[in-house]
């Protein structure tokens, strides 16, 4: 039996690694996804993401009804090819990181633990998320 979960979250892929962006409505999920896409990431899904437990991990994908679309507030619904990717990192926009060098965080999804980073209020943050996915943290990987 395959476990599937649909979350109110957006997701992108960087070098084949899935980044799940979760947070309350209006927290900036689509905005961060668009920023990461502007830096070379590929869209997985916007606003709702399907997570499927498979051998070796969790696969992120878009529900059929919203595949290949992302909302840009004040612009409209934009076309973007959706891909699928295994979950690699969780970004939690509901928690503001206050530590300069935080201890590593984890998020448990479908009984598996994944690295998790919290929102940081700095213009460089999308670049830091991208680099985290590409290279990890020097103190954890």
CB atoms within 10 A of CB 110: 14
pLDDT band at residue 140, thresholds of 50, 70 and 90? Answer: low
Question: Which domains are present in the chain?
Answer: 4-133 (3.40.50.300)
**pLDDT at residue 141 tops 60:** no
pLDDT for the residue 137: 87
Tell me the CA distances in angstroms from 84 to 12, 15, 17, 75, 110, one per residue in order.
9, 11, 9, 25, 17
**Would you state the structure tokens that stand for residue 29, as one six-digit string?**
């999920």
Nearest to 50 by CA among 36, 64, 60: 60
Specify the pTM.
0.94
Contact (CB, 8 A) for 22 and 94: yes
- pLDDT per residue over 41-92, tens digit each? 999 999 999 999 988 899 999 999 999 999 998 999 999 999 999 999 999 9
């Amino acid at each position: 039996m395959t476990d599937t979960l649909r979350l109110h979250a957006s997701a992108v892929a960087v070098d084949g690694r899935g980044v799940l962006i979760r947070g309350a409505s209006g927290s900036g999920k689509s905005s961060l996804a668009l920023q990461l896409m502007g830096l070379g990431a590929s869209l997985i899904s916007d606003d709702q993401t399907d997570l499927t437990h498979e051998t070796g991990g969790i696969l992120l994908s878009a529900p059929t009804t919203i595949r290949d679309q992302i909302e840009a507030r004040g612009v409209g619904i934009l076309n973007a090819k959706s891909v699928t990717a295994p979950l690699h990192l969780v970004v939690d926009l509901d928690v503001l990181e206050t530590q300069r060098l935080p201890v590593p965080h984890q998020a448990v999804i479908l009984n598996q633990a994944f690295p998790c980073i919290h929102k940081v209020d700095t213009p460089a943050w999308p670049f830091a998320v991208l680099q985290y996915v590409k290279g990890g943290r020097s103190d954890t990987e």
